[in-house]
């Protein structure tokens, strides 16, 4: 993965706008953090294939039967990927890692999670969606001669392919997608997910493997002095917690963000 240092908001805008549309983005509040799913962070050094499966099975047993007792706004998930998505949405540790089609939304999430007064460098990951999926499809074909899917055909059958092929056979690949039926917030955030198909290996380990060595993935390291400029930029393109969440929580988060910026 190529690293690009950003020292000005004008350079940030130039770099983002120069990328083609086949990229997905994730912002992180500390540039030293790795790309880790919430389940990877919970298990940390105790991560193993068996423990990852055990904890995922545990969360399914705890969450799915009680879903109808608490949910007021979502339709009941009808696939494993949809269940993982809704669990991720409400904070249950999963193998999924959130990305967005919008670099500006990704930047906002980095800002929202940051300790702004500390002015640590932020990171913005830009992953080559097409390049990664093409390599993943190529890998599956090398193991399964009957696999005939393409990037285009996968879009219509993501839930089924994930459950019956990617997850079932634990292929050592990065998988990118989103469930066929999105919840409202995921749709507002232009959201998608990546995960490691092989539970034994963590996301960053697979992403940095030889299989993806030719994909054009970038980590932008953004200087911590640019918080004010990024906040102003995001306001100009109407990326705020109000627009992202669309509810009272979003309003409260938006007010908090403004207070933190103005307090610097």
Calpha distance 183→148 (Å, rounded): 29
pLDDT on residue 119: 84
Model-level pTM greater than 0.75?
yes
Q: Taking a C-beta distance cutoff of 8 angstroms, is the pair 138, 149 a contact?
A: no
**Two tokens at 78?**
């009808």
Q: Taking a C-beta distance cutoff of 8 angstroms, is the pair 189, 26 a contact?
A: no
**Please, what's the largest Cα pairwise distance for the chain?**
59
pLDDT at 180 over 70: no
Mean pLDDT of the chain: 88
pLDDT on residue 75: 75
**Two tokens at 236?**
């100009």
pLDDT at 228 over 80: yes
Least confident residue range of 12-16, 129-133, 156-160: 156-160
Calpha distance 149→157 (Å, rounded): 9
**What is the tens place of the pLDDT at every residue in 56-97?**
999 999 999 998 888 777 778 888 988 998 899 888 999 999
Distances (CA, A) of 182 to 80, 189, 242: 13, 11, 19
Domains of the chain, residue spans: 2-33+97-262
Calpha distance 64→67 (Å, rounded): 5
Calpha distance 240→254 (Å, rounded): 6
Which residue's entry shows tokens 């790309």? Answer: 35
DSSP H or E run through 187: helix 184-188
Calpha distance 59→54 (Å, rounded): 9
**What is the tens place of the pLDDT at every residue in 19-34?**
999 999 999 999 999 9
pLDDT on residue 244: 74
pLDDT on residue 246: 67
pLDDT on residue 241: 72
Could you give the strand order of the β-sheet that contains 218-222, starting from the edge strand earlier in sequence?
A: 2-6, 218-222, 122-128, 23-28, 97-100, 191-196, 174-177
Calpha distance 159→178 (Å, rounded): 8
From the list 149, 153, 156, 162, the residue with the least C-alpha distance to 80 is: 162
pLDDT on residue 238: 83
Calpha distance 213→59 (Å, rounded): 34
pLDDT on residue 222: 97
pLDDT at 136 over 80: yes
């Amino acid at each position: 993965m190529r690293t690009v240092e950003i020292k000005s908001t004008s350079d940030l805008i130039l770099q983002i706008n120069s990328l083609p549309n086949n990229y997905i983005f994730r912002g992180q509040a500390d540039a030293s953090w790795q790309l880790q799913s919430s389940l990877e962070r919970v298990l940390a050094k105790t991560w193993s294939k068996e423990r990852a499966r055990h904890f995922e099975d545990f969360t399914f047993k705890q969450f799915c039967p009680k879903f109808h007792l608490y949910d007021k706004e979502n339709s009941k998930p009808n696939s494993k990927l949809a269940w993982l998505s809704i669990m991720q949405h409400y904070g249950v540790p999963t193998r999924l890692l959130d990305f967005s089609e919008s670099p500006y939304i990704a930047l906002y999430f980095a800002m929202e999670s940051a300790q702004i007064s500390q002015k640590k460098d932020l990171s913005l990951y830009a992953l080559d969606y097409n390049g990664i999926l093409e390599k993943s499809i190529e890998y599956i074909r090398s193991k399964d001669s009957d696999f005939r899917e393409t990037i285009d055909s996968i879009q219509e059958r993501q839930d089924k392919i994930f459950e019956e092929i990617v997850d079932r056979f634990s292929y050592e690949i990065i998988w990118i997608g989103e469930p066929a039926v999105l919840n409202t917030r995921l749709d507002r955030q232009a959201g998608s997910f990546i995960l490691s198909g092989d539970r034994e290996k963590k996301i960053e380990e697979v992403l940095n493997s030889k299989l993806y060595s030719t994909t054009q993935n970038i980590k932008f390291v953004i200087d911590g002095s640019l918080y004010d400029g990024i906040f102003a930029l995001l306001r100009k393109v109407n990326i705020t917690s109000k627009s992202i969440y669309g509810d009272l929580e979003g309003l409260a988060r938006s007010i908090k963000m403004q207070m933190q910026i103005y307090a610097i």
